[in-house]
Amino acid sequence: MHFSFKELLTLMLKEKGIHEGLWMLQVEFTMSAGNFGASEDVAIPTSFLGVSRLGMVQVPKLELSNLTVDAAEVNPAKTATKARRSATKAG
């Protein structure tokens, strides 16, 4: 199963209860270096890059792109009327 950037951001915004602003996925990388090869005779300097964690960062309205998500569109806040209707149906 795969998620697009926008799908992942939408899930994160809903999980954190965020209803406003433009948000972009943030990826934190960790890098290490060493010598690597099939044997010591053919080892070469090598870098290793790993994803250490994912996050999200709020961006200005000017940065609307295919990498940003508007929280108001993908996770709109419930209005008082909708909340009352839900409570009435549940009770």
Q: Is pLDDT of 52 > 90?
A: yes
Predicted TM-score (pTM) of the model is 0.69
Residue 23: is it exposed, middle or buried by C-beta count within 10 angstroms (0-12/13-18/19+)? buried
pLDDT at 84: 55
Q: Give domain limits for the chain.
A: 5-35+47-90
When pLDDT is averaged across residues 14-35 and rounded to a whole number, the result is 96
Mean per-residue pLDDT, 19-46: 95
Q: How far is CA 55 from the centre of its chain?
A: 5
The mean of the pLDDT values for the chain is 88
Q: Which of 52-56, 59-63, 82-86 is the most confident on average?
A: 52-56
Distance CA(56)–CA(6), nearest Å, equals 11
- Please state the φ and ψ torsions of residue 20, each to the nearest 5 degrees: -135, 155
Q: Are strands 22-36 and 44-59 parallel, antiparallel or unpaired?
A: antiparallel
